[in-house]
Amino acid sequence: MTRRRTVLAVTAGALALPVALSGAVSTPATATSGWSSAWAATTDTSAPATTLASVRTIIGADTGAAAALTGKGVGVALIDTGVAPVPGLPAAQVVNGPDLSFESQAANLRYLDTFGHGTHMAGIIVGNDTASGMKGLAPQAKLTSIKIGTASGAVDVTQMIAAVDWVVKHRNDDPANPIRVINLSYGSGGNPPNWTDPLQFAVEKAWQAGIVVVAAAGNNGNSTTKLTNPAMDEWILAVGASATNGTAATADDTLATFTNLAVGGNQVDLLAPGTSIASLRDPGSNIDNTYASARVGTTLFKGSGTSQATAVVSAAAALVLQSKPAATPDQIKEWLIKGGTFLPNGKAGTMGLLELNVNGALARTGTAVAKPTWNTSKGTGTFELARGTSHVILDNAPLSGERTVWGPLASPQWAPKSAAQTSWSGGTWMGFKIAGDDWTGTSWASKTWAAATWTATPWVSSATWTDPAWTGRTWSGRTWSSGTWSGRTWSSDDWASTSWD
């Protein structure tokens, strides 16, 4: 009899939980549900869909100089749950970087989005769905997908760190579309010291390499006292969600009640539309099966959260970079923030939080930007503090301490190599063979990084990387084959998507 192995997660108090229709917090899903408590969701279907055409109007991208921009020539790295080859996601605009998720060890799941989150983010950025007329906000940007999350979102912070390192190392592999933006609709469960945290060190190195890092503030509500990690890092661009209240006008927009706010440390830098955003549906994925009422027609799906707001800002950053390709991340950040639209109502007005305005940002591109003097992380803090109280669990054993998914590692060994951009060599990261060595893989996308079989021993020595639950699930042209995603991994970190509504 084959023993079913499961990867679960201890639910951290800092992670957002699913919300019931009434607004009360529900209990976490059971292991057999295939649903992770680290991805917050609602079953409320009352809110009308916010189209990307409306979002484009709200953020001032459909008039003036912004209207002519498409993101052409700008690469955007999406570190997420992968993307699915739905018709609304043009293969010519998508590159598959390495799959660093647990599902990379299953050929039928590799690179593909089994959860539905990554596809939704990709649609906001580069989608082009002729069936519905939906078009992404930067439709000619080149999207590089680096998959680290499974069907239920399971991911360890060390997979995220390895992915960021890979992007920095390979940002110029396509000279016509260098990666200038990283979209992180994600937040770890940790609350580590900013001056030593390895995750913040990784994103700061990306920033220093000329990449605008856009991160979700989190969805634990306005009463929280800190942003999620790495949005709490002062260097990068921390995004909160605005509630559009069903209109394309900005005068009635407010701070979304689910957005994290900070009492000390880095505050939300910028707001962007993040409620009931209609983007690409991933048919048969976990969220599609679980929240069928969130479907809009046959090709779209509604989602709310700082995840969606982050994707909106990443697309906007690509537009501004198309216009000003020599701009530094510090310049892009300040232009986007100071070019925003004032929201007079509620906490946004009281706090002076601005909503994204692309034309406003373009109007500021002639202004000088002083170099910030924020403190930087040394990267020598523990991976355990970066995880916080949420841990990936394999056969009832949590991944903890100073080790990665693939084996033991001390951050003081990793940090100097990350800084020197030598943590990766081919498909080997810090001595662990976790991907292929070059762009020789095959998938539906225009270009693909090769895969590799993981040879490292899991942190439970008696276990293997394979899961019997992976068999029998295939992508069949336009949808996942029928069935549930039970028996799969659970999320250990917060991807900052507050609802599928």
Q: How many Å apart are CA 39 and CA 340, to the nearest integer?
A: 29
The catalytically annotated residue of 36, 54, 80, 99 is 80
DSSP H helices in 127-192: 157-169
Q: How many Å apart are CA 305 and CA 320, to the nearest integer?
A: 23
- Is 120 a catalytic site residue? no
Is the peptide bond between 325 and the residue preceding it cis, with omega within 30 degrees of 0?
Answer: no
Residue from 335, 334, 331 nearest 359 by CA: 335
41 and 16 Cβ atoms separated by less than 8 Å: no
> Cα dist. 248→56, 245, 251 in Å?
9, 9, 9
- Is 80 a catalytic site residue? yes
- Is 443 a catalytic site residue? no
> Cα dist. 134→55, 244, 277, 315 in Å?
11, 18, 11, 15
The catalytically annotated residue of 185, 304, 307, 390 is 307
> Cα dist. 292→25, 86, 219, 282 in Å?
20, 17, 22, 11
DSSP state of 93: G
The catalytically annotated residue of 37, 117, 285, 493 is 117
Tokens in use for 359?
């034309």
Q: Tell me the catalytic residues.
A: 80, 117, 307
